[in-house]
Chain A
Amino acid sequence: MTVVQAISKITMPRLSRQARDNLTGYLFVLPWILSLLVFTAYPMIASIYFSMTRYNVLNPPQWIGLANFNEMFRVDPLYWTSVSNTAYYVFFAVPLGLAFGLVLALLLNQNVKGIGFFRTVFYLPGLVPAVASTLLWMLLLNPQLGLVNQLLGVLGIGKLGWLGSPTWSKPGLILMSLWGGTGGTMLIFLAGLKEIPQSLIEAAMMDGANAWQRFWVITIPMISTTIFFNLVMGIIGSFQVFASAYVAAGNGAGPLNTLLMYMLLLYRNAFRYFNMGYAAAMALVLFVVLVILTLVMVRFSRNWVHFEDANR
C-alpha cells in the first residue's frame, strides 16, 4: 500500500462537515503552529527562564531570580557603555538612513532612461553580506590607505582615525550602515512613492505649487505610512546592530569600548564568557524596550501618519 493510498483511506465518518472543515484548516496551519511553538515561542519562553538563572550553557541553569538584572543595571559598567553606544548609533543611523533612503527613492522615481539599472545598482549593497561589506568599509576607512581619507584630503580635511579613533569609530559604523542598509529602505520608499496618485501631483501643479511644496504637502503625507514602517523597522534593526560592530572591532570592542554595541556585549556574555543567563536577561530587556518603543511610536503615529482608513 502506498503512502497516498494509506492517507486516502483516512476518513472521519462521525464528524460534521463544519468540524471536518475546521480540522482541515488546523491541519494546514499545523506546520506553521509547530514552527511557531518550537522555533519561536519555546526559545522566547526558555530565554525568559534563563534570564533568571545562572547558566553557563555547559551545566544546568541555577535559579537566581532577578540577580542578572541587578548586575546589569547596578554593577556592570559595560552594560551602560553598550546602551550609550547603541543609543548614539540608533539616534544617528536611523534618521540618516531614512533621509538617505528617501532621497535615493526620489531620484530613482524619475522617468529617465536606464532607471531599472540604477535601481538595481543602488539596491545591490543591501545584498552584500554584513561581514563582507564591513570588511570592505574597513579598507575604505583605513586611515592611511583608505579612499575616504583620500577624498577628505582632496577637500583639505586632515586624516581621520575612523575605526581606531574613539571619536570617529561610531560615525564610521554609521557610514557603513548607510551604504549597506539603505537599499531595503529605498525600495520600500520607492514602492510608497509609486502609490501616490498622479492626479494629486497634477492638481497641485495646476494650483501653482512648486516642487518643494509638492514634496512637503503631498509626497511626505502620502508616504507617511511608509516612513512610519521604515522608522519602526530601522529602530528595531539598529538596536540589534551586531555584525558590523563585531567585525570592525576585531576581537575587541573598539577604542575605549566605543564599538561595544548592545548585541556585541550580549554575544560576548553568551559565547565568550559562558554567561548565557546574563545574556538572556540582556535580550529580554532589549525585547521589552523595543516593544515599548514600538508602542510609543504607534501611539504617536496618529499625529503625523496619514492612514487611508480614517477610523483607525
Chain B
Amino acid sequence: MKSNTVMKKMNRRDFLQAVALTGSGALLAACAPAATTTTDAGKEPQVNQAPTNTPAPATPTAVPAAASAVKISWWNQFSTDTCKKWFPEIVNTFMLDNPNIAVDFEISGGPPGGGNYAEVLLARIAAGNPPDTITLWDPPSGYGSRGALAEIDDLMSIATTAKSTAFYEGVLKSCQFKGKTFGLPASAGVGCFFINKELFESKGLSTNRENLPKTWADLRDTSAKLVEYEGDTPDLVGMVPWDSPWMNSVWSQLNGGTIFDSSTLTYKIDSPQNVEWMNYWLDWAENQYKGSMEKLNILYTGPDVYPDSPFQLKKAGMATSGAWACTDAGIPFKWEIFAPPPGPSGSGPKNFYWPNWFAMPKGGPHPQEAFKFIEHMTTKGWAVWYENATLDTPAWTGISPEVINKALEAQEGRERAIELQKYFSEMLKTTADVWTSPVESFASDTLASAIGEILNKVSSPDEALANAQKVVQAKLDETLKNG
C-alpha cells in the first residue's frame, strides 16, 4: 500500500525522469572500475578460494581458505578436460600446504570473463590492475624486457625449491633478459622427430634409435628413401623439415649458427651457416619434392603428428613434434623418436624445448605469496601434472626419477616409458638458445616469411635472409632503445 501511495504522487513525467536518472546512474556505475581482485591480509576474505568455474569433478577437494588468507589470482589459457581435472588438484594441494594463501582461478581457456588472453592481459597490465600470477605461452622476455613482469631473482635466492640451480640452465635462460629473471619455466616439452616404424620397416630401414639419422645428410637420405610419387605428385613424403617454424632457431644452431645471440643481443639471421642451412633445404626440396611447394602442400597438409596430419595418415614417414605428443597425439601405429641431428657446420646436439612459463606481473600487492604459488606450480605441482597428464617434461631438475607418466606407461609399458622420459630429460642438458629475444614473435614471423620466399623461389637465401636480418635487427634496436 505504501508503494501505491508513492506512485500516486508521481506523475508520468516524474516517473520518466526517474527512469532516465536511474538508467544514467546505472550506466555510470557500470563504467566504474572493477573491485580489486586481492584481499589484504587481515581483512575478511570475500570468497571461498576454491577454484572457480571448473566442472564438478574438478573440485572434489576444494580447500576452504583461512579467514586471514591472502587472495591471489592466477590467469592461464588451459582448457582441456585433463587440465580441468588436474590443475584444480594441483592448486588445492598448494592451498593445503599454504593455508594463508588463497588462489582464485578458472580453467576456461582464457582470462576470467572471456576474451583473447593476450589482449585482456595487456589491457589489465596497462591499466595497472593485472592478475597476481600468469601462465604464459609466449616467452617472458617479451614482457620482461618492457618492464611488465616482476624480477624474481631475489625471491629465487631465498626460495625453498625454486632456486636458479633447480632448473635446467638452458631452460631457465628462456625467462631471463639482461641477467634478470622474469618468470619460471614449468615444463620444457622437448622437440623431437617422430618416425612411423611400419613405414620404415616397409622400406627396409632400421627403426632402432641407435640407427636413426645422426647428421643432416643421414636425415635427408633417410627421407629420400621414403618418398613415393604418383605421377608428378608426391604420394608419400619422408620428412618436410621446414614444416615447423618454431624449430627454425634450433635448425640454425644445429648448423653452428644462430638466429639470435642473447649474449650480445644481436640477430645473425644472414650468417654463412644460415645461408648454408637454407641452401640445404632448397636442395632437399629440389631433389625429393621436385622443387614444387605447391604440389608438395597438396599432400603435405600440415605439420606434427596429431590426428589427420600426414604423419598419422601414413603420408609422411617422419615429422617434427615434441615429447608432449607421445601422450597426447594418440598415434595409432608403432612410433619411435629421435633427437634432431647436427648439420654440416654444426658440432653437437642442440635441442628445442617449449615451456609453459609462470610469471608475476609487476606491481602485484603480494609478491611473496605470488612467488610461492609459481614456485609450487613449476616444481612439485608440475610433477603432478607430468605424472598424471601430459608428457610435458618438467624444467625442474629436482623431480624424482620414480615419477613415471601414467599414460605413457599404460601405452608403451613401464620400461619404455622410463627410457623415453630419461631420453627427453637428457636432451634438456643440451638445449638450444631459444625464446630469449624481446622481439621473439616478430623475428619468428619474419624468418618464417623469408624461408617461405626461399622455398618458393621468390628470393635467394642470401637476399631473403639479409632482408630479414635488416628488418629484425632494426626492430630489436628500436625495442632495446625505447622499450
Contact = CB atoms under 8 A, between A and B. Distances in A.
Given A7-B17, A58-B125, A274-B142, 7 more contacts: A7-B21, A10-B18, A28-B16, A31-B20, A143-B297, A256-B452, A272-B445
B373 interface: no
Given A57-B126, A274-B142, A161 B297 contact: yes
A27 B20 CA distance: 5
B27 A35 contact: yes
B122 interface: yes
Contact of B147 (A54, A59, A143, A252): A59
A10 B26 CA distance: 18
Contacts of A271: 116, 118-119, 122
B118 A272 contact: yes
Interface stretch (B2-10, B197-205, B319-327): B2-10
Interface of B: 3, 6-7, 9-10, 13-14, 16-18, 20-24, 26-28, 31, 116, 118-119, 122-123, 125-126, 142-143, 146-148, 233, 245, 293-294, 297-299, 301-302, 308, 310, 313, 315, 439, 441-442, 445, 448-449, 452-453, 456, 458, 471, 475, 479, 482-483
A38 B28 CA distance: 10
Contacts of A272: 118, 441-442, 445
A27 B482 contact: no
Contacts of A268: 441, 445
A38 B475 CA distance: 34
B122 A27 contact: no
A274 B146 contact: yes
Interface string A245-279: 00000001101110000000000100111100000
Contacts of A77: 471
Contacts, number: 133
Contacts of A165: 294, 297-298
A213 interface: no
Interface of A: 2-5, 7-8, 10, 20, 23-24, 27-28, 30-31, 34-35, 38, 54, 56-59, 62, 77-78, 142-145, 159-161, 164-167, 252-253, 255-257, 268, 271-274
A59 B479 CA distance: 12
A58 B148 contact: yes
B143 A58 contact: yes
Contacts of B17: 7, 10, 23-24, 27
A144 B313 contact: yes
Contacts of A161: 294, 297-298
A297 to B, nearest CB: 32
Contact of B445 (A10, A23, A253): A253
A166 B20 contact: no
B178 to A, nearest CB: 16
A36 to B, nearest CB: 11
B27 A34 contact: yes
Contacts of B26: 31
Q: Which of B22, B142, B449, B456 has the most CB of A within 10 A?
A: B449
B6 A5 contact: yes
A164 B143 CA distance: 32
A31 B27 contact: yes
Contact of A24 (B13, B116, B293): B13
Contacts of B245: 252
B126 A273 contact: no
A43 to B, nearest CB: 12
A56 B16 contact: no
A143 B448 CA distance: 22
B299 A2 contact: no
B126 A58 contact: yes
B441 A273 contact: yes
B315 A144 contact: yes
B478 to A, nearest CB: 8
B126 A256 contact: no
B299 A144 contact: yes
Nearest to B456: A256
Nearest to A166: B456
A7 B26 CA distance: 14
A206 B116 CA distance: 60
7 contacts: A8-B9, A27-B24, A58-B147, A145-B308, A161-B298, A255-B293, A274-B479
Contacts of B297: 143, 161, 164-165, 255
Contacts of A62: 482
Contacts of A252: 245, 445, 448
Nearest to B478: A54
Given A24-B16, A58-B143, A255 B441 contact: no
Contacts of A8: 6, 9-10, 14, 18
Contacts of A31: 20, 23-24, 26-27
Nearest to A32: B27
Contacts of B452: 255-257
B298 A159 contact: yes
A273 B449 contact: no
Nearest to B5: A5
Given A5-B6, A252-B448, A58 B122 contact: yes
A271 B16 CA distance: 44
Given A38-B31, A255-B456, A7 B22 contact: yes
B459 to A, nearest CB: 10
Contacts of A274: 142, 146, 479
Q: Which 10 A-B pairs have the closest CB atoms?
A: A27-B20, A164-B297, A7-B18, A58-B148, A30-B24, A143-B298, A58-B146, A28-B20, A31-B27, A57-B122
* Residue of A2, A24, A28, A274 with most chain B CB atoms under a 10 A cut-off: A274
Contacts of A78: 449
A219 to B, nearest CB: 43
A279 to B, nearest CB: 12
Nearest to B446: A78
Given A10-B17, A166-B456, A271-B119, A143 B449 contact: no
B20 to A, nearest CB: 4
Contacts of B294: 161, 165-167
Contacts of B442: 272-273
A62 B20 CA distance: 41
A165 B445 CA distance: 18
A4 B3 contact: yes
A34 B23 CA distance: 11
Nearest to B13: A24
Contacts of B119: 271
Contacts of A27: 17, 20-21, 24
Contacts of B7: 4
Contacts of B6: 2, 4-5, 8
Contacts of A24: 13, 16-17, 20
A5 B5 CA distance: 10
